[in-house]
Amino acid sequence: MSAVLEHALPRGVTVTHRLRQVLLAMMTGTRQMLVGYWAVMLVSFLAVGIAFKLATGGIDHSMWDYGTQSPKYFSMALGITLTPAYFSLLISQGVTRRMFSVAASIYLTGAATATALLWVLVYQAEHLLYRSQGWSQTLANPHLFGATSEAGLIFTEFFLLVLSHEAAGWLLGITFYRFGFWRGVVMLPLAVVPAAAAEFLLIAQWLADALNSIGYQRPPLAVAVPSIMVVSALGFSVGYRLLRPMALKPAKG
């Protein structure tokens, strides 16, 4: 299959080269969105948050932890954006639907990794600052980790939550783009399965207290982590299958 694709491409252009170009297009187009979001988060919840707490009488909670609900919903929006923003443009330039889907999966996985790493690094920086000042770094939300020094668990939690919400966003973007608003609404419960699975398997952040109050217990991480990875991968795969028969939409105006 790869040999056939390479033969069909212009001379000197390989499948790998084309994939890199698609990834570069996605990265370039969404770079301002990502960098802007991260900058706003850093300023709002770290710099301004700490300054506000100091002005009002000291710090007893992690300020960065107040922003932990945000990255998964932003990442869902990122997943929603890819198909409406890039599908017609890239497919009309000769990119196959399979390559578009592979590139989107790679890009979103990379974005999930970068976001999780950012959360790990800022927690560590905040930990050093709080320790140097003698402040308490109590966490405002339930997590897989009990202290901000547990970098591995921090990365695991945020990577899985972000990736699963990206997969849900990917499906939402495709279903609404292909089927229209009303049929997209009907398919919405299926599209959000990857995000819902992660929430119920990890039981972290805002949903944790509600689930714990009814006696629901988190499954072992040895079960939860691979299950979320599998469900997210299936979400990306289902998105590709929905894209395969989809025709290009005519330009408006």
Q: How far is CA 82 from the centre of its chain?
A: 12
CA distance 74 to 50: 23
Q: Which two tokens stand for residue 99?
A: 């390559």
Judged against a pLDDT cut of 70, whether residue 1 lies above it is answered with no
**Residue indicated by tokens 């300054």:** 51
Q: Which two tokens stand for residue 72?
A: 């998964």
Tell me the β-bridge partners of 61.
Answer: 138
Q: How confident is the model at residue 190 (pLDDT cuts 50, 70, 90)?
A: very high
Q: What is the mean pLDDT of residues 40-68?
A: 78
Q: Which residue has the higher pLDDT, 63 or 229?
A: 229
Which pLDDT does position 251 carry in this prediction?
A: 55
Q: Which are the contacts of 48, defined by CB distance < 8 A and separation ≥ 6?
A: none
Q: How confident is the model at residue 253 (pLDDT cuts 50, 70, 90)?
A: very low
Candidates 69, 72, 37; CA nearest to 165 is 72
**Residue indicated by tokens 């869902």:** 76
**φ/ψ of residue 138, rounded to 5:** -65, 140
171, 194 contact by CB (below 8 A): yes
Which pLDDT does position 42 carry in this prediction?
A: 84
Which CA distances in Å does 177 have to 25, 31, 79, 239, 244?
20, 22, 13, 12, 13
**Residue indicated by tokens 């790493």:** 117
Q: What is the mean pLDDT of residues 18-47?
A: 88
Q: How far is CA 252 from the centre of its chain?
A: 30
Which pLDDT does position 68 carry in this prediction?
A: 84
86, 25 contact by CB (below 8 A): yes
Judged against a pLDDT cut of 80, whether residue 48 lies above it is answered with no
Is residue 62 helix, strand or coil?
Answer: coil
Q: What does pTM read for this prediction?
A: 0.88
Q: Which residue has the higher pLDDT, 55 or 63?
A: 63
Q: How confident is the model at residue 49 (pLDDT cuts 50, 70, 90)?
A: confident
Which helix (H) or strand (E) segment is 220 a member of? none
Which pLDDT does position 250 carry in this prediction?
A: 65
CA distance 135 to 99: 50
Tell me the β-bridge partners of 200.
Answer: none
Q: How confident is the model at residue 10 (pLDDT cuts 50, 70, 90)?
A: very low
Four-point Cα dihedral 41, 47, 53, 58, nearest 10: 130
